Amino acid sequence: MPKRRASRAVQARERARAHTAELREREALLEDLATRWFEADAERVEVEAAAEKKIDAYAARVRGQTRRDTGRLGDEMSTIVREMLQLTGIRSVTERLGVVEAVVRDAKAEQAAARADPATGPSTESSQKAPTQPTREQTKAPESEGRNAAVPD
């Protein structure tokens, strides 16, 4: 009988060692997988940061181009309004363009300033400062006001 007990104990130890070895292998595999996950996560964060940097640079380039284009177009719009003012009055221009009188008056003031001092005319001034041309929504005359009767010519 004592031999049987001894052999049972040896078999139990062997099973315990085998089970422990399997657990250690499993833990090592899980640790390796977790390490790979954290490495991939760190690389993902780096890729996202690089992409954001590229996006920011591209957006800045597009904003700069937009400022140049809108400034140029704003200058062209002011020139057109000034040419129209040489042919007709402020109210007629505002009605034709569907803008508020303030926009046309600003162009008229630029025209008067250009006549007074041709060296500092609108083209020189507008190229030195940021464009201040109103957007389409800002220039739209309210329909309820009709011909902007509250503002005299």
Span 63-107, pLDDT tens digits: 999 999 999 998 899 899 999 999 999 999 999 999 999 988 888
Query: What is the signed CA dihedral for 22, 23, 26, 30, rounded to 10 degrees?
Result: -170
The C-alpha atoms of residue 74 and residue 70 are separated, in whole angstroms, by 6
User: Residue 126 — very low, low, confident or very high, per pLDDT cuts 50/70/90?
Assistant: very low
Q: How does DSSP classify residue 100?
A: -
Task: Give the DSSP letter of residue 130.
Answer: -
49 vs 10: CA distance, rounded Å: 58
- Which tens digit of pLDDT belongs to each residue from 2-36? 567 788 889 999 999 999 999 999 999 999 999 99
Output 152 or 34, whichever has higher pLDDT: 34
**Res 4: pLDDT:** 72
What would you measure as the largest C-alpha separation in the chain, in angstroms?
126
Which pLDDT score, from 0 to 100, does residue 115 have?
76
- Which pLDDT band holds residue 152 (cuts at 50, 70, 90)? very low
Domain map (residue ranges) of the chain: 2-142
